[in-house]
Amino acid sequence: MSAQLIDGKAIAATIRGEIKTEVEQMKTQYGRVPGLAAVLVGERKDSQTYVRMKKKACAEVGITSFGYNLPADISQEELLKVVRDLNANPDVHGILVQLPLPDHLDDEEILGAISLEKDVDGFHPLNIGRLSMKRRDPLFVPCTPKGCIELLDRSGVSIEGKRAVVLGRSNIVGLPVAMLLLHRNATLTICHSRTQDLPGVVREADILIAAVGRAEMVKGDWVKPGAVVIDVGVNAVDDPTAKKGYKLVGDVDFNEVKEVAAMITPVPGGVGPMTIAMLMRNTLDGAKHGPGMK
Ligand code: NDP
């Protein structure tokens, strides 16, 4: 393997350690700790797993977590009430509503009801709007995109002036990570399902962020030698040799691309752990700006 591995698991563990120290200091100084409310609607197994992982991370760093497991048939009004009650709760500094919500619920209205000061997922339309404008700092930046930039920073990769290509334009990953790269003065290209000559465009990247949800789509000959590759994708593919019958792979063909790139994140163990570490960071930051903690 020629590429240097960007070890998201290790970097995330370092960040969680830093957060734990800051939470302990907050407790000593103010007698309070940050609180995160996780709102889960319905019984989706993947969402349950994500919420469980987030609660576990909270416990590890000393953040109090409040869990709300709500029935799949909850009404829009009832869910809005839960969010408004959490907005008013002074022990809660961050509110996350686990997506996707069941189809009958209007997620835009729900996310828009979260207090700006507690929007630790960074999906409030105002926070996203600020992220999309020059010199308008959002209060919170979405966790996965923030994690991608943190991986670059902590690996010593300079962004300014580089050609960055983002594969994917979703509201959750592609679009916000593209905005962050632009704020850091990268020269940016965003690709999507209608992009022509995708391999040719990807090959221009000094920094490639892949967030398409297509197993091992990015091949070795798509990548410029010496590029830095951040693979956000998490895709389950059949693997009869694995205990569960499947394995997780990224959007990048790791075995091919590691021979060409200068640096690469693995899947799992790359961006995934960073997403949760950034949620902890956002919750701590929310608590720092909360009442009685200035
Ligand atoms: P979405 O499905 O919302 O978006 C996928 C994007 O990729 C779209 O913009 C789509 O284009 C584009 N796309 C799809 N197929 C192609 C193709 N063949 N060629 C070019 N572009 C294509 O996915 P998400 O952004 O939510 O997630 C992307 C991946 O990241 C998934 O694997 C997901 O599991 C993973 N993920 C990982 C997280 C982590 O913490 N590690 C967190 C969140 C997501 P168009 O807009 O034209 O449809």
Are 251 and 206 in the same domain? yes
Are 108 and 152 in the same domain? no
Whole-number Å distance, alpha carbon 148 to ligand 1 midpoint, is 15
132 lines ligand 1 (CB under 6 A): no
Query: Is it the case that residue 26 has pLDDT exceeding 90?
Result: yes
Q: Does residue 6 sit within a domain?
A: no
Are 176 and 69 in the same domain? no
Please confirm, yes or no, whether 98 is among the known catalytic residues: yes
Are 147 and 111 in the same domain? no
Are 149 and 267 in the same domain? yes
Give the integer Cα–Cα distance in Å for 232 and 268: 9
Whole-number Å distance, alpha carbon 52 to ligand 1 midpoint, is 23
* pLDDT tens digit sequence for 82-104: 999 999 999 999 999 999 999 99
Q: What is the DSSP letter of 249?
A: E
Q: What is the DSSP letter of 220?
A: G
Are 181 and 248 in the same domain? yes
Are 242 and 163 in the same domain? yes
Q: Which ligand 1 atom sits closest to the C-alpha of 275?
A: 40
Whole-number Å distance, alpha carbon 160 to ligand 1 midpoint, is 25
12 lines ligand 1 (CB under 6 A): no
Q: What's 99's domain CATH number?
A: 3.40.50.10860
What is the average pLDDT score of the chain? 96
Confidence of residue 135 (pLDDT cuts 50, 70, 90): confident
Q: What's 250's domain CATH number?
A: 3.40.50.720
Q: Does residue 1 sit within a domain?
A: no
Please confirm, yes or no, whether 76 is among the known catalytic residues: no
Residue in 7, 54, 162, 206 annotated catalytic: 54
- What is the pTM assigned to this prediction? 0.96
Distances (CA, A) of 40 to 35, 55, 62, 89, 234: 16, 12, 21, 18, 21
Whole-number Å distance, alpha carbon 210 to ligand 1 midpoint, is 8
Are 102 and 164 in the same domain? no
- In this structure, the residue with its CA closest to atom 30 of ligand 1 is 233
Q: Does residue 99 sit within a domain?
A: yes
Positive/negative CA dihedral, 142, 143, 147, 150? positive
Are 151 and 258 in the same domain? yes
Q: Which ligand 1 atom sits closest to the C-alpha of 235?
A: 32
Is the peptide bond between 102 and the residue preceding it cis, with omega within 30 degrees of 0?
Answer: no
Nearest to 29 by CA among 234, 288, 280, 244: 288
CB of 154 within 8 A of CB of 163? no
Q: Does residue 202 sit within a domain?
A: yes
Are 257 and 161 in the same domain? yes
Q: Does residue 13 sit within a domain?
A: no
Give the end of a domain, one of 115, 134, 161.
Answer: 115
Domain of residue 72 covers 32-115
Are 150 and 261 in the same domain? yes
Q: Does residue 249 sit within a domain?
A: yes
Q: Does residue 193 sit within a domain?
A: yes
169 lines ligand 1 (CB under 6 A): yes
Q: Does residue 199 sit within a domain?
A: yes
Are 55 and 158 in the same domain? no
Residue in 7, 118, 119, 121 annotated catalytic: 121
283 lines ligand 1 (CB under 6 A): no
Ligand 1 site-directed mutation target among 11, 96, 107, 170, most atoms within 8 Å of CB:
170
Query: Is it the case that residue 294 has pLDDT exceeding 60?
Result: no
* pLDDT tens digit sequence for 229-266: 999 999 999 999 999 999 999 999 999 999 999 999 99
- Counted domains in the chain: 2
